[in-house]
Amino acid sequence: MTLLTERQQTPLRMVENKQWRKPVYETNGLNLWYGTSHALKNIDLSIHEKEVTAIIGPSGCGKSTYLKTLNRMVEMVPDVSISGNVTFKGNNILGKSMPVEMLRAKVGMVFQKPNPFPKSIYENVAFGPKIHGIRNKTVLDQIVQESLQKAALWDEVKDRLHKSAYGLSGGQQQRLCIARCLAIDPEVILMDEPTSALDPVSTHKVEELIHSIKNDVTIAIVTHNMQQAARISDRTAFFLNGEIIECDTTTAIFNHPADHLTDDYINGRFG
Residue count (the chain)? 271
Give the interface size with another protein as a residue count (CB under 8 A): 27
- Least distance to another protein from the beta carbon of 135, Å? 14
Instruction: Check binding of 133 to another protein (CB under 8 A).
Output: no
- Least distance to another protein from the beta carbon of 254, Å? 30
Instruction: Check binding of 127 to another protein (CB under 8 A).
Output: yes
Q: Which one, 90 or 118, has the nearer CB to another protein?
A: 118
Q: Rounded to whole angstroms, how far apart are CA atoms 146 and 156?
A: 14
Instruction: Check binding of 194 to another protein (CB under 8 A).
Output: no
Q: Which one, 47 or 191, has the nearer CB to another protein?
A: 191
The stretch among 9-17, 27-35, 115-123, 263-271 that binds another protein (CB under 8 A) is: 115-123
Instruction: Check binding of 101 to another protein (CB under 8 A).
Output: yes
Instruction: Check binding of 104 to another protein (CB under 8 A).
Output: yes
Q: Are 221 and 205 in contact (CB under 8 A)?
A: no
- Least distance to another protein from the beta carbon of 253, Å? 28
Contact string 226-245 vs another protein (x = CB under 8 A): --------------------
Q: Which one, 210 or 247, has the nearer CB to another protein?
A: 210
- Least distance to another protein from the beta carbon of 65, Å? 15
* Choice from 71, 195, 218, 223 touching another protein (CB under 8 A): 71
DSSP string, the chain: -HHHHHHHHHHHHHHHHSPPPPEEEEEEEEEEEETTEEEEEEEEEEEETT-EEEEE-STTSSHHHHHHHHTTGGGGSTTEEEEEEEEETTEESSSSSS-HHHHHHHEEEE-SS----SSBHHHHHHHHHHHTT---HHHHHHHHHHHHHHTT-HHHHGGGTTSBGGGS-HHHHHHHHHHHHHTT--SEEEEESTTTTS-HHHHHHHHHHHHHHTTTSEEEEE-S-HHHHHHH-SEEEEEETTEEEEEEEHHHHHHS-SSHHHHHHHTTS--
* Choice from 80, 98, 103, 252 touching another protein (CB under 8 A): 103
Residues that bind another protein (CB under 8 A): 71, 73, 76, 78, 101-105, 108-109, 111, 113, 115-118, 127-128, 130-132, 166, 177, 180-181, 184
